[in-house]
């Protein structure tokens, strides 16, 4: 495609009006303020009038099949939410349920400018099938709950993960990647954590884990592990010695943040989910000031209710100003960097996450003709505080259209909605 005279957020997220951007194959081939030579080679021409081209978003922490639980487990604190609502519901979910729920989640994410997500759940082959069909990218990990005091190899998930790495990792032209998982400190045993970290180190893969989501989680961890916080515990047993995304990190202190920085951990901030569950919110200004890798996640639909990541960016841009009584904390550029380049890097996708020649053509086009966009005095502030995911009119993943003007190539979204509604009804009825 050739985007003609379109406003652009460039590789430094600087606003550039009336630019030309061309994609060829799966990559960005040209960026300039004049038309490229031989423009016919790029195929379709897209008129950029009243449009803004920016890097597509990366959702660094999701549970896509929890689309089935949207609106089901409301107004509950985390542990009660998990134990009384989510886990009983999930026990009733079939692999086919996971497929349809993931497909609908992919449609929702593409509609709101997201092309890649890191997903922690079950039924990995079915989730991979849905992501492949949708044309998106995902780092998929099979959820590990290791309550029994036995080695990792004795859990069925050990053999499953070996199979998934062998058969799915790198599939769909590299869009599907397999990560390893530790659900959390409170749902695992130390031996399993150490052995999983060793496997990740040996295979060169990545790890995804929940860390310090609630005050209760941290206090109980300290009781179990001689005063160590979850961050200190995981660091001590080698979990952070491998490439790792740590979701939440709400209840962390100075010592924890020093470890997160030193180990290069990617912190997936989930501002909407954490606020909605009453868990609090991560100290993002302090993390950014320390140079910690901060990215953004939606979490699951039982604790967020939508995959419109622009909503999370808006909340992330506001809560710290109110909490710190400082309107200058957390700049929109930091927020957009977290949702684009840092999110891509958290998935190990080095050539993704910014608009740069040679990088993957993961692009989002916003319609900026609406009244909320005028005037374009501070474009980055408009994107975070005035615009919304509903302004997305085109999403490209690896140069392919995955959403455009209410249409999803490769996805029957109407059927996916019907399937998810019927399957959620079936499961809820069985739990009554």
Phi and psi at residue 404, to the nearest 5° = -155, 120
Q: Which domains does the chain have, with CATH numbers?
A: 2-55+359-404 (2.30.40.10), 57-210+242-346 (3.20.20.140)
Asked whether 363 and 110 are in contact (CB, 8 A), the reply is: no
pLDDT at 132: 98
> Which segments of 74-199 are extended strands (E)?
114-121, 137-142, 176-178, 180-182
Structure tokens at 186: 């409170």
pTM of the model: 0.97
Chain centroid to Cα 253, Å, comes to 24
pLDDT at 76: 86
Q: Using the 8-state DSSP alphabet, how is residue 172 labeled?
A: T
- β partners of residue 4: 47
Closest by Cα among 210, 208, 212, 214 to 184: 210
pLDDT at 153: 96
Structure tokens at 103: 């497909």
Phi and psi at residue 207, to the nearest 5° = -130, 145
pLDDT at 432: 80
The pLDDT averaged over each successive group of 10 residues in the chain (432 residues) is: 98 97 98 95 97 98 97 88 91 97 98 98 98 98 93 96 98 98 96 97 98 97 98 98 98 98 98 94 97 98 95 96 93 98 98 98 98 96 97 98 96 97 97 87
**What is the rounded distance in angstroms from the CA atom of residue 192 to the CA atom of residue 110?**
35
**What is the rounded distance in angstroms from the CA atom of residue 101 to the CA atom of residue 61?**
16
pLDDT at 69: 96
pLDDT at 79: 84
pLDDT at 355: 98
pLDDT at 73: 86
């Amino acid at each position: 495609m050739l985007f003609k005279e379109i406003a652009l957020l460039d590789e430094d997220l600087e606003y550039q009006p009336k630019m030309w951007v061309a994609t060829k194959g799966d990559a960005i081939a040209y960026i300039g303020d004049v038309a490229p030579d031989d423009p016919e080679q790029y195929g379709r021409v897209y008129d950029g009038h009243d449009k803004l081209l920016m890097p597509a978003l990366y959702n660094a922490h999701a549970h896509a099949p929890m689309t089935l639980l949207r609106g089901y487990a409301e107004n509950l604190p985390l542990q009660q939410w998990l134990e009384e609502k989510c886990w009983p519901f999930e026990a009733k979910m079939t692999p086919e349920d996971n497929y349809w729920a993931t497909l609908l989640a992919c449609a929702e994410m593409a509609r709101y400018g997201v092309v890649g997500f890191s997903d922690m759940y079950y039924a990995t082959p079915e989730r991979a099938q849905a992501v492949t069909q949708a044309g998106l990218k995902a780092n998929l990990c099979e959820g590990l709950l290791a309550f029994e005091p036995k080695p990792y190899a004795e859990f069925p998930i050990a053999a499953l993960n070996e199979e998934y790495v062998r058969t799915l990792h790198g599939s769909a032209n590299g869009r599907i990647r397999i990560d390893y998982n530790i659900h959390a400190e409170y749902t695992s045993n130390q031996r399993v954590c150490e052995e999983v970290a060793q496997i990740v180190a040996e295979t060169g893969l990545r790890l995804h884990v929940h860390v310090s989501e609630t005050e209760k989680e941290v206090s109980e961890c300290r009781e179990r592990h001689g005063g160590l916080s979850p961050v200190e515990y995981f660091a001590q047993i080698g979990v952070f010695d491998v490439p790792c995304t740590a979701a939440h990190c709400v209840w962390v202190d100075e010592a924890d943040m020093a470890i997160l920085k030193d180990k290069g951990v990617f912190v997936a901030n989930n501002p909407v989910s954490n606020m909605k569950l009453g868990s609090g919110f991560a100290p993002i200004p302090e993390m950014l000031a320390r140079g910690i890798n901060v990215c953004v996640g939606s979490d699951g639909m039982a604790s967020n209710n939508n995959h419109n990541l622009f909503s999370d960016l808006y909340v992330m841009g506001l809560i710290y100003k109110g909490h710190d009584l400082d309107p200058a904390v957390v700049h929109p550029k930091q927020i957009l960097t977290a949702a684009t380049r840092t999110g891509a890097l958290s998935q190990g996708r080095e050539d993704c996450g910014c608009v740069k020649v040679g990088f993957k053509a993961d692009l989002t086009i916003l319609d900026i003709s609406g009244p909320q966009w005028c005037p374009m005095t501070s474009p980055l502030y408009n994107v975070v505080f005035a615009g919304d995911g509903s302004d997305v009119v085109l999403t490209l993943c690896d140069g392919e259209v995955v959403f455009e003007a209410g249409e999803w190539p490769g996805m029957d979204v109407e059927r996916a909605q019907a399937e998810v509604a019927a399957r959620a009804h079936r499961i809820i009825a069985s739990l009554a």
